[in-house]
Amino acid sequence: MSPRNAATRVSGMVERPPGFCYRESKDSRGRGSALYCENVSLNHLAKQYGTPLYVYSTATIRARLSAFEKAFRHFPHTICYSVKANSNLSILRLLARAGCGFDVVSGGELERVLRADRRGARKIVFSGVGKSADEMLMALKAGILLFNVESESELSVLAECAARLRKEARVALRVNPDVDARTHPYISTGLHKHKFGIPIASARSLYAQAAGIKYLKVAGVSVHIGSQITDVEPFAEAVTRVADLIRQLSADGHTIELVDVGGGVGIAYEQREVDFADHVARYASGVTGPLRELKVHLLLEPGRAIIGPAGVLLTSVLYRKRNDGKRFLVVDAAMNDLMRPALYGAYHEIVPVDIKSETEPQEVVDVVGPVCESGDFLGRDRNLPPVEEGDLLAVLDTGAYGMALASNYNTRPRPAEVLVSGKSAKLIRRREKVRDLLSTEL
C-alpha cells in the first residue's frame, strides 16, 4: 500500500494538496509516513520552532487565489482579501504581490495593510458596522478605494470627516437583502434580525441623501450575507436583489460603478472537498449572472476560502488520560490558540503527523488542551490510531480564524507562525513570551 493510501486508512481527509501531504519516512521505530508542508517536514519545523505552531503553505494560498482569478476572468473584478481571516504581515505581502486588494474592518487592519503594501490603499475597502471617526480619518488620509457604510448615522460621521479633511469619500451602502445564508447563526449576517447593513427597501432614500452631501461620492452597492457558506443559491439570491436595486438607483440618476459582493465562500471542514476550482466557478456563475448587463466592476472579499486550508496547527501530546472508559489526549495547544471549536462547536480534522503502521487499530479520544475550561477542546470523540505522549498532531484547515482569534487567556503566550514555500520555511511571527504579555501593564 502506498503512503498516500496508508494516510487515507487513518482518515478520509488527512491530506490537503498542494500544501500538506504524507511522505514515506523512516525512523528508529521502522517505516511509516510523515506529514509534510510542501517539501518541509512538519516534524522538523516542530523541533526547530516548538509547539503549538501555526504552519502555512504558500503553494496553497497561490493555488486558491488563482482559482478565483480564473473563475472571474471574464468579468471586471478585484479580489479584496478579507484581512480578518488571517492578518499576518508576511501573508498580506504575499497577497499584495499577487495583485490582491484588501477588505479591512478596523483601523488596525488598515495599518497592517499599509505596512505590508504602502501603495495598497488604492485597493482597500473599509467594511464594518462600527467604524470610529478616527478610523475614518485615517482611511481618508490614506486614500482608500471605498467605504462600505452601514447606517445613516455612520454616513453623517463620514461626511463630517470628509469635510474636515476636504477629501472625497467614495461610498457604497451595505444593504441587507434578508437572505438566509444557511450557515452558523454567529456568522450569518444577511437577515433583518442581524446588526449588519441597511434594509434593502430603505436604501434608495439614503442614497439620495448621500448624493446631496459635499465630499461624499456614491460609487457602489455592497452586500455580505455571512461566512462559511457552501451553497451557491444564497449568493445568487442576494446578488439578484442587489441587481434590482442598482437598476432602481440608475433610474434615480446615480452612477453605480462598483458592486461589492463580500466574501463567505465556505470550505469543507468535515467531508472531502470537491474540486475547489469547480466550486469557485459555480460561485462565480451565480454571482455574475444577475450583473451581466449592468457594466459594473465586481469587488470580491474571500478570506477563509483562500487561507483556511493553507494552514495547520501543530501540537504535542502532553499526556494520555482515562476517566473510567473515556480517553483523552491532553495537548499543548488550547482554546486560546484555536478558538473555533469552543466558540462555534466547529469541527477541524485532527491527524497524527507520523503514521507508524498501515494497520494500526483506531481508538476514540477527546483531544483537549490545558486551559481550565471544560470547553477547552480541539476535537471530541475522534478516531485516531494510538498516539503516544510526545507525539505530534496536526489540526487541519486552521489558516483562517486560527491565529486571528488567538488570545492570551490563562496568561498563555500565543504560538509562533511559519510560512513555507517549497523547501524553505520562514518564521513570520516569533513565539510570544510571558514578559511580552506583562510589558504593557503598569
Q: How many CB atoms lie within 10 A of CB 205?
A: 12
Q: Are 256 and 204 in contact (CB under 8 A)?
A: no
Residue with cell 469552543: 342
- By the 10 Å C-beta count (0-12 exposed, 13-18 middle, 19+ buried), 372 is classed as exposed
- Residue that has been written with the C-alpha cell 477547552 in this structure: 376
Strands (E), 285-340: 297-300, 311-323, 326-331
Residues whose CB is less than 8 angstroms from the CB of residue 235 and which lie 6 or more positions away in sequence, other chains included: 225, 229, 261, 264, 283, 286, 287
- Here the cell at position 225 is 450575507
Angle at 298 between CA 206 and CA 181, to 5 degrees: 75
Are 291 and 259 in contact, with CB atoms under 8 Å apart?
yes
Residue with cell 477542546: 377
> Residues 122-126: contacts with CB within 8 Å, 24+ apart?
123/78, 123/80, 124/80, 125/80, 125/101, 125/222, 125/260, 125/299, 125/301
| Helix, strand and coil percent figures for the chain, each rounded to 5 | 35, 30, 35
Return the C-alpha cell found at 205.
432614500
- Phi, psi of 328, deg, nearest 5: -130, 145
| 237 SS3 class | helix
Q: Which residues pair with 103 in a beta bridge?
A: 82, 125
Q: Report the candidate in 104, 220, 206 with the shortest Cα–Cα distance to residue 156.
A: 206
Question: In this structure, are residues 356 and 421 in contact, taking their beta carbons and an 8 Å threshold?
Answer: no
Q: Which of 31, 53, 32 is nearest to 42 (CA)?
A: 53
Is-catalytic flag, 21?
Answer: no
HSE of 384, CA atoms in CB hemisphere, 13 A: 27
Question: 272 near 322, Cβ under 8 Å?
Answer: no
Q: Given the residues 21, 37, 80, 372, select the one marked as catalytic.
A: 372
CB-based contact 76:297 (threshold 8 Å): yes
Give the active site residues: 372
